[in-house]
Chains A and B, each alone.
Chain A
Amino acid sequence: MEGTATAGFIVAQLEATPAAPAEAAPAAEPGAPLTDAAHGELAGVVIEEHATEEHGGTFPPFDSTYFASQLLWLAISFVVLYLLMSRVIIPRIGGILEDRRDRIARDLDQAGRLKQQSDEANAAYVKALSDARANAFRIAAEARDKAKGEAAARQAEIEKSLDGKLAAAETRIGEIKAKALADVGAIAAEAAEAVVDRLVGLKASATELKDAVGAARSGGTGNA
């Protein structure tokens, strides 16, 4: 404290006569022949200046004159800074950052949920598609089988009816053939009668003709 007071005093003194030492000192250096009184006065000023430099003015960072002032204003400004920081700035910027973090987390969450939904929808679509395809195959196979069965049944029916018709036709052919064969004797007898009549001029009786034809047919049959 004492040092502070002394330094302050000397600084004050120096400020009272600021120009004097600066002007006096260069004059004193070369000027040797001076009166004792003037020399003493100059020496006094120089000594005082030296004293000032040693205590107060030399190195401002260690000058204790303004320690109290610096501490007070540091305390005031730092307390204001701290209060602004803790009450306004940090909550605000922290809030901004938190909001952003929440928003990003929420958006990511939503994106994940939507992705899951779309995955599910995709799976459902693929399943529906494969189901539909299987269904289509099944329907096609069924239709094919049914058509094949119907065609076979129809074919069988037609074949059966054709068989019937064929059988009927064969029966008729057989009948016609039998009838024709039965008629052959009469035709042969008539032909033989005409032949005999023409060649020999005789009228063969029906019984004779019939016997002859019968003989010829059995003989011819025998010969053939």
Chain B
Amino acid sequence: MELPDPIHQFEIKEIVPLHLGATNVSFTNSALFMVLAVLIGCGFLLLASSRRRLVPGRWQSSAELTYEFVANTLRSSAGSQGMKFFPLVFSLFLFILMVNLFGMVPYFFTVTSHLIVTAALSILVIGLVVVYGFYKNGLGFFRLFVPHGVPGVILPFVVFIEVLSFVSRPISLSIRLFANILAGHITLKVFAGFIVVLSSLGWFGWIAAVLPLILTVALTALEVLVAVLQAYVFAILTSLYLNDAIHPGH
């Protein structure tokens, strides 16, 4: 028996084929789970907060906790001025959290396992940082690359490093999320595949399959953690980058 293909889960399938001129804009399984993530995420927050009770119940409490968690993350990173970006950061957090968690359900497609999606999200963030940085500070935004108190001799070198680190931000931001989700899902699939393959080898295989089974269970827990953590990491990095746009001086 062959190992199940661990890449198969990332394939995009058209559900409703659509074409805009020569461009394929079909409604795919990826699009389905994006829409589901938005619907379920918003539906949860809307239903949980619909009673507007002074003393919250369990559902309302969880919605409030999510709200305050993201709000505190943003406020502690970007200050109260950063709160004007709260809808964006909360949207990013909720979207990534929901698609990541959907990805943990067997046979569900993981939207963030495609680099184009994470790249688009991180370009949105960095683009906003650049545009808002210049809009708010004008050319003063370039102070971001010139730290205070650096001797003149090594200043060009430091500025070069700062520019490099700024340029690499969208790359690292998108690759971090994409690679974590992709690698996690492949690993999970491979170990789960081992169980199937080993258990087809008779009684010895059944015993040997216990090890990958334990690993799969442990990895599933780890992947749920990674799914939540990566959403948080994306949100907090967005907050930190926005802080740079608001306060460019180091």
Contact = CB atoms under 8 A, between A and B. Distances in A.
Interface of A: 8, 58-63, 65-75, 77-78, 80-82, 84-86, 88-90, 92-97, 99-100, 103
B114 A61 contact: yes
Interface of B: 7, 10-12, 18, 20, 23-28, 30-31, 34-35, 37-38, 41-42, 45-46, 49, 52-54, 56, 60, 63-64, 67-68, 86-88, 90-91, 94-95, 111, 113-117, 120-121, 178, 182
A74 B121 CA distance: 9
Contact of B54 (A8, A60, A78, A103): A103
A95 B115 CA distance: 37
A60 B7 contact: yes
- Interface secondary structure of A, over-half rule: helix
Nearest to B92: A78
Contacts, number: 127
B26 A69 contact: yes
Given A60-B10, A89-B49, A84 B28 contact: no
B90 A90 contact: yes
B229 to A, nearest CB: 20
B35 A85 contact: no
A73 B11 CA distance: 16
Contact of A69 (B24, B54, B95, B178): B24
A80 B40 CA distance: 13
Nearest to B22: A5
A94 B49 CA distance: 10
B28 A71 contact: no
B117 A70 contact: yes
B52 A92 contact: yes
Contact of A62 (B35, B38, B88, B115): B115
Given A74-B34, A89-B49, A67 B42 contact: no
Nearest to A1: B22
A92 B44 CA distance: 13
Contacts of A63: 12
A81 B31 contact: no
A128 B27 CA distance: 84
B35 A73 contact: yes
A61 B91 contact: no
Contacts of A75: 120
B67 A90 contact: yes
A58 to B, nearest CB: 8
A70 B14 CA distance: 11
A17 B41 CA distance: 40
Contacts of B24: 8, 65-66, 68-69
A137 B98 CA distance: 80
A67 B116 contact: yes
Given A73-B27, A88-B46, A99 B38 contact: no
